[in-house]
Structure 1
Amino acid sequence: MTKRFKVLRAIATIWKILAWVELILGIIAAVGVLVLGLVGMSSLEAYGYSYPSDVPWQLAGPLGGLIGAFSVLVGVVFWFLMLYAIGEVIYVLLAIEENTRQPAPQQYAE
C-alpha cells in the first residue's frame, strides 16, 4: 500500500528536527549564560566596571549565572517537548488515518 500525505510526513519530520536543533542551541546558550555569570562580572571589574546598582549584587555574579542557566534550561526543555510533540501528533494522526483506511478483517458466523 502506498504512503499518502508525503508533505505532511515531511512537515512532521521538520518539526522533530527543529526540536533537536532548538535543544542543542539552547544547551549551548545555557552554558554561555553560566560562563558569563561565573566569569563575566570579574572580567568587567578588571576593566573598571562595578556591579549594576539596580540589582542585588548576588544576582550579578555566579549565583545570577546559575539562576539564568537554570531558567534557560527549563525554557529550552519545555520548548523542545512542545516542538517534538507537534511532530509526534502529526505522525499519530497519520497512523490513525492509515489504520482507518485498512479494511477490517471479516468475521463470519459459523
Structure 2
Amino acid sequence: MDKRYTALRIIGTIYKVVGLIAAAITVLSALGLCATSVLGGPALDQFAQQYGGGDTGVFGLAGGMVWGLVAGISTLILGGLSALGVYAIGEGIYLVIALEENTRASATVLYRQEVAPGMSPSAR
C-alpha cells in the first residue's frame, strides 16, 4: 500500500524527537541540580562562617545533599513524565495512522470477497 498522511507522519516524528530531547534535558538537569546542591552546601557554609553568619545548620553539606537529592528526584520524575507524555503523543499519531491503514485494508479485502469473482464492481 502507498504511504498516506505524510504530514501527520512528520508531526508524529517531531513529537517523538522532542520527547527524547526533553528526556535527555531532564536527566542532565537532575544531575546538575544534585551536583550543584552538593557542591553548594559547603560553599554556603564557608561563606556564612567567613562573614559572621555562624553555623548554617541544615544548609551545610548534609542539607545540600538531602535537598539536592530530593530536588533531583522530583525533577527526574516530573520531567520524565512530561517527556513521556510528549513521546506518547507522537506514538498516538502513528497509532491512528496505522489504525486507518488497517481499516482501509480490511475494507478492501471484504469488498473483494463480497463481489463475485466474475463480476466487475460497477455491475453489482
TM bucket by the smaller chain? 0.7 to 0.9
For residues 36-64 of structure 1, the C-alpha deviation after alignment (integer angstroms, 9 at most, x for no partner) is 1111121233334769x9xx836951100
Matched, 1:82 2:70: no
* More deviation, 36-45/99-108: 99-108
| TM-score for both structures, normalised by structure 2 | 0.74
Structure with more contact order per residue of length (Cα contacts < 8 Å, sep ≥ 6)? 1
Give a deviation string over 1:3-62, Cα, whole Å, max 9, x none: 1110110000010000110000110000011001111121233334769x9xx8369511
- Return the alpha-carbon distance in structure 2 between the equivalents of residues 28 and 86 of structure 1: 23
Please list every run of 5 or more consecutive structure 1 residues that lacks an aligned counterpart in the other structure: none
Looking at secondary structure, tell me which structure has more helix per residue: 2
* Count of aligned pairs between the two proteins: 105
Task: Specify the alignment match of 2:67 in structure 1.
Answer: 64
Higher-Rg structure is 2
Gaps of 5+ in 2: 116-124
How large is the Cα RMSD of the aligned pairs?
Answer: 2.5
Between the aligned residues of both structures, percent identity stands at 32
Counterpart-to-counterpart distance in 2, 1:107 and 1:46:
84
